[in-house]
Structure 1
Amino acid sequence: MNQKPSNAFIAASWATLLIGMAAYIIGLWNAEMLLNEKGYYFTILMYGLFSAISLQKSVRDQLEGVPVTNIYYGLSWFSTILAVVLLAAGLWNANLLLSEKGFYAMSFILSLFAAIAVQKNTRDSLSKPAKNNVEIDEGF
C-alpha cells in the first residue's frame, strides 16, 4: 500500500528539521568556544544530516527492490553511526555545562530524525500511485 503523506505531516517534518537545525546553529553562534570548535560541531551536523538521508534512501531502495550495493549500504550505516559517535566524543571532551551538552545532543538527534522524515515524505510524494487503483470511466 503506497499512501502519500498528508500536508500536515510534511509541514511538521519540515518545521521539525528547521527548528532542530536552527536551535543547534543558534546554540553554536552564542557559544563561548573557539571558531574551530564551532566549525567542528557545524560540520558534524551537516555530515550527520547527509548520512541520515543517504541511509534512509538506501534502506528504502532495498525495500523497493532498487539495486543498492552492499558497500554503499554499509557505508551509509557507518557514516550515520560515525556522525553520532563524533558528536558524542566531541561533547564528552568539551568544556561545556551538562545542560549545554544535552542541548546539542538533543537538537542534533532531532535534526537527524527530521531529515529522515523529510526524505521519506519527499520520496512518498514523488512515488507512482499504486497499480491496483483503477479509474472508472462512467462514460461522461
Structure 2
Amino acid sequence: MYPQKHKRRNTAAFTFLAYFTLFAGVCLFAIGIYNADLELNEKGYYIAVMLLIIVGSILTQKVIRDNSEDDEIIAEQQRRMERNEQA
C-alpha cells in the first residue's frame, strides 16, 4: 500500500486571514493605547496584558488541536487492536 500524501489543513487564504486579523488587532490596540489619556505605567500594563492574551490564545489553540489529533490516533489504534483480536 502506498503512503497517503500529506494534505495541508488550511488554505493559503485562511492562513493569510488569520495573520491579518492578528496583525490588525494588535495595530488597533496599539493605536488605542497610544491615543489614550493614560500614564505610561498604565499603558505598559495594558500592553503586557495584550501580549499575554495573544500567547494564551495561540497556546490554547495548539493544545486543543493536539488533543483532537491524539484522540483520533488513539481511536485508530483501538480499532486496529480490536480487528487483530477478532482475527
Structure 1 length as normaliser, TM-score?
0.45
Whether 1:110 aligns to 2:47 is no
Q: Partner of 1:129 in structure 2?
A: 73
Output the amino acid matched with 1:114: G
Map 1:48-63 → 2, pairs under 5 A:
none
Give 3-state SS (helix, strand or coil) of 2:7's partner. Answer: coil
SS at match of 1:96: coil
Partner of 1:100: 42
With structure 2 as the length reference, what TM-score do the two structures score? Answer: 0.68
Match of 1:72 in 2: 14
Greater relative contact order structure (CA < 8 Å, 6+ sep): 1
Q: CA RMSD in A?
A: 2.4
1:67 Cα offset (Å): 4.2
- State the number of aligned residues: 72
* Equivalent position SS for 2:73: coil
**Structure with the largest fraction of helix:** 2
Gaps of 5+ in 1: 1-63
Structure with larger Rg: 2
Which amino acid counterpart does residue 20 of structure 2 have in structure 1? F
